[in-house]
Amino acid sequence: MRRKLITGNWKMNGGLASNAALLSAVKSELGQPSCQVAVCAPAPYLAQCQQLLSGTQVAWGAQDVSAHDAGAYTGEVSAAMVKDFDCAYVIVGHSERRAYHGESDETVGRKAARAIAAGLIPIACVGETLAEREAGQTEQVVQRQLDAVLAQLAGNDLAKLVVAYEPVWAIGTGKTATPQMAQDVHAFLRGRIAARDAQAASGIQILYGGSMKPDNAAELLAMSDIDGGLIGGAALKATDFLAIVRAAA
């Protein structure tokens, strides 16, 4: 049985003092969670996460990584650099990176491959816009995005991947896919992975990343192919984040 994973994506939020307060509250109330728990912080705060979370039940990770190993890429952060801070995870292909920074499906695939090569677990994001959903293109879009990642991974690396389905129309809007809508897409994604490697597909965690909150988490997480959440705004409040973690029990 796949273990649930609840990952907070802080996006471009936080500061040394507020991060310390948030993580202190999470650690003090977390107890022994039945699910895996992680936070993905802005790159300047990875050292702080390493300092405050080492030896705890909370893993940490980055929000992006370069598609290059090293070189003249000013402002980029390589997978090896992220790994230097003992990160477990890195988000790749978030819809905000695709929309605001022009990241292509191929670039996202390369980033996932670089992450795995460095010993990180990439959380590869896929998802459709409202216009694409209304046009009946959801499966076509997420298949294209997922296939671009799978194409970059060697067979043995597939099991090291986490996928996050984040319908773009439900991110930060307060709108949420119904549990069945989300389940349908998660099942489709698992089927695409199974076409490549059935054994890997049965173990890969597929997270939901569209406005999961304490009041809808349990219903979403009860779906058979929803293996956790990639949490945005709710991850910035310890009480909300912990409520979602408990809902994953």
Hey, how many other C-beta atoms are within 10 angstroms of the C-beta on 34?
Answer: 11
Sequence-distant (≥ 6) Cβ neighbours of residue 27 within 8 angstroms:
52, 53, 56, 57, 58
Q: What letter represents residue 49's amino acid?
A: C
Sequence-distant (≥ 6) Cβ neighbours of residue 156 within 8 angstroms:
none
94 tagged catalytic? yes
Question: Rounded to an integer, what distance in angstroms lies between the CA atom of residue 157 and that of residue 27?
Answer: 32
Beta bridge partners of 124: 92, 163
Q: Which of 96, 103, 128, 166 is catalytic?
A: 166
| pLDDT tens digits along 147-203 | 999 999 988 899 999 999 999 988 777 777 899 999 999 999 999 999 999 999 999
Overall average pLDDT of the 65-93 stretch: 98
Tokens of 15: 């500061």
User: Would you state the pLDDT for residue 210?
Assistant: 86
**Measured distance between the N- and C-terminal CA atoms of the chain, rounded to whole angstroms:** 13
The residue to which tokens 């460095």 are assigned: 118
Instruction: Please say whether the beta carbons of 79 and 114 come within 8 A.
Output: yes
Overall average pLDDT of the 120-127 stretch: 98
239 by Cβ neighbours in 10 Å (0-12 / 13-18 / 19+) ranks as exposed
101 tagged catalytic? no
Question: Rounded to an integer, what distance in angstroms lies between the CA atom of residue 132 and that of residue 171?
Answer: 15
DSSP secondary structure letters along 96-109: HHHHHH---HHHHH
Question: Rounded to an integer, what distance in angstroms lies between the CA atom of residue 217 and that of residue 249?
Answer: 11
86 by Cβ neighbours in 10 Å (0-12 / 13-18 / 19+) ranks as middle
Mapped onto helix, strand or coil, the DSSP state of residue 155 is: helix
| pLDDT tens digits along 7-54 | 999 999 999 999 999 999 999 999 999 999 999 999 999 999 999 999
Q: Which of 94, 96, 103, 186 is catalytic?
A: 94
Instruction: Please say whether the beta carbons of 228 and 7 come within 8 A.
Output: yes
Write down all domains in the chain, each with its CATH number in brackets: 5-247 (3.20.20.70)
| pLDDT tens digits along 220-249 | 999 999 999 999 999 999 999 999 999 998
